[in-house]
């Protein structure tokens, strides 16, 4: 079956599900999206693109940004990064403080909030301040997306900051253990801006291609990560990419991927392609309900699960 045919078929099949799930409503900027929205985009390693639905609709990438920031930190700190953040599944809700308290402020992995905050802190240290760190991150995202227009939705960022008490608790706790180097408020401001990067499915599927090609952007041939680092990112996405439903996602979709509470998910098929999907209503674990289903259908129709 052609990819475009598959996307059309998925588009049809997920229609009845569009009324299910629940949009993230902890901040107005996320709550006020169109609940029925759906988009899916595929970029092959050779650059071919396929899309269905409103795949140029921007949305808040939220936790998907953790993949970008972790990539940048890996490039800079290499294995030294693992002194400050581990690489194992957490088994706790994504914002738990208990694990941090028992393990001296070292988060379980870079895809839970605590881990991503540490990664963000490390990028600030490298860039000298939060604004420069964000500039570096945006430059990187624009580069791998081949799109200079990508930016931050400041209204989302400032909403997040006003409601980010749990993340502030995480950051302060890690600071008390000495695992945050910069000013907590600067780290949180930077972190929430990072989460508020606004992208569409087309850009996201393009941006993740390096993870489907051993760390080398298959279009520009630029090396983003080493092959081993790429394997690490993919292994982490598979085991920890979807909060407390990572095991279910590994089973249902069978691809390394990362979801965000804004309703986006990006997954990669090693050696072949990158797939982005968007639908804002979430399942009970905080992952896009329709997005997860669409990816499951995609691996079913293509037979391209890793298992």
Residues that bind its own copies (CB under 8 A): 86-92, 96-99, 101-102, 108-109, 165-166, 168-170, 172-173, 175-176, 184, 230-232, 234-236, 238-240, 244-248, 250-251, 254, 256, 270, 305-307
Give the pair of three-digit tokens for residue 61.
């990438």
Q: How far apart are CA 185 and CA 241, in angstroms?
A: 26
Nearer to its own copies, 33 or 294 (CB): 294
Within a 10 A sphere around the Cβ of 86, how many other Cβ atoms?
17
Beta-sheet pairing, 197-199 with 257-259: unpaired
User: Please, which residue, 125 or 300, has the CB nearer to its own copies?
Assistant: 300
Residue 209 or 250 having the CB closest to its own copies = 250
Residue 132 contacts residue 186 (beta carbons within 8 Å): no
CA distance 263 to 280: 4
Cβ atoms of 262 and 35 closer than 8 Å? no
Closest CA to 131 of 180, 69, 64, 193: 193
Q: How far apart are CA 240 and CA 119, in angstroms?
A: 16
Q: How far is the CB of 240 from its own copies (least distance, A)?
A: 7
Considering beta carbons, is residue 86 or 198 the nearer one to its own copies? 86
User: Measured from the CB of residue 283, what is the shortest distance to its own copies in angstroms?
Assistant: 14
Between 33 and 112, whose beta carbon lies closer to its own copies? 112
Q: State residue 178 phi and psi, 5-degree precision.
A: 80, 15
| Residue 57 to residue 78: CA distance in whole angstroms | 35
- Closer to its own copies by Cβ: residue 51 or 257: 257
Active site residues: 63, 66, 191, 243, 261
Here the tokens at position 220 are: 């520009």
Task: Report which of 245, 263, 272 is spatially closest to residue 40, judged by C-alpha positions.
Answer: 263
Q: How far is CA 3 from CA 40, 54, 159, in A?
A: 11, 17, 38
Write the CB contacts of 251 (distance below 8 Å, at least 6 apart in sequence).
none
Residue 201 CB, nearest approach to its own copies (Å): 23
Q: State in angstroms the smallest separation of the CB of 202 from its own copies.
A: 24
Contact 190, 120 (CB under 8 A): yes
The SS3 call for residue 197 is: strand
């Amino acid at each position: 079956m052609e990819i475009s045919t598959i996307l059309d078929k998925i588009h049809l099949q997920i229609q009845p599900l569009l009324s299910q799930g629940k949009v993230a409503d902890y901040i107005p900027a996320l709550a006020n999206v169109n609940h029925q929205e759906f988009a899916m985009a595929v970029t092959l390693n050779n650059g071919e693109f396929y899309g269905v639905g409103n795949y140029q609709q921007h949305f808040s990438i939220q936790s998907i940004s953790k993949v970008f920031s972790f990539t940048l930190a890996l490039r800079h700190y290499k294995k030294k990064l693992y002194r400050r953040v581990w690489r194992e599944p957490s088994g706790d809700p994504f914002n738990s403080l208990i694990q941090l308290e028992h393990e001296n402020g070292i988060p379980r992995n870079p895809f839970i909030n605590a881990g991503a905050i540490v990664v963000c802190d490390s990028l600030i240290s490298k860039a000298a301040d939060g604004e420069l760190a964000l500039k570096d991150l945006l430059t990187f995202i624009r580069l791998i997306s081949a799109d200079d227009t990508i930016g931050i939705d400041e209204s989302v960022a400032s909403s997040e900051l006003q409601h980010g008490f749990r993340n502030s608790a995480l950051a302060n706790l890690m600071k008390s253990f000495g695992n945050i180097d910069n000013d907590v408020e600067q780290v949180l401001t930077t972190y929430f801006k990072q989460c508020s990067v606004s992208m569409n499915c087309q850009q996201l599927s393009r941006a993740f291609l390096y993870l489907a090609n051993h760390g080398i952007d298959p279009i520009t041939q630029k090396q983003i990560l080493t092959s081993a680092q790429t394997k690490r990112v993919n292994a982490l996405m598979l085991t920890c990419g979807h909060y407390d439903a990572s095991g279910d996602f590994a089973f249902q979709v069978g691809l390394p991927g990362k979801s965000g509470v804004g309703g986006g998910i990006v997954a990669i098929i090693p050696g072949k392609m990158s797939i982005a999907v968007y639908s804002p209503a979430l399942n009970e674990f905080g992952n896009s309900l329709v997005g997860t289903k669409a990816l499951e259908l995609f691996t079913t129709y293509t037979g391209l699960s890793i298992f």
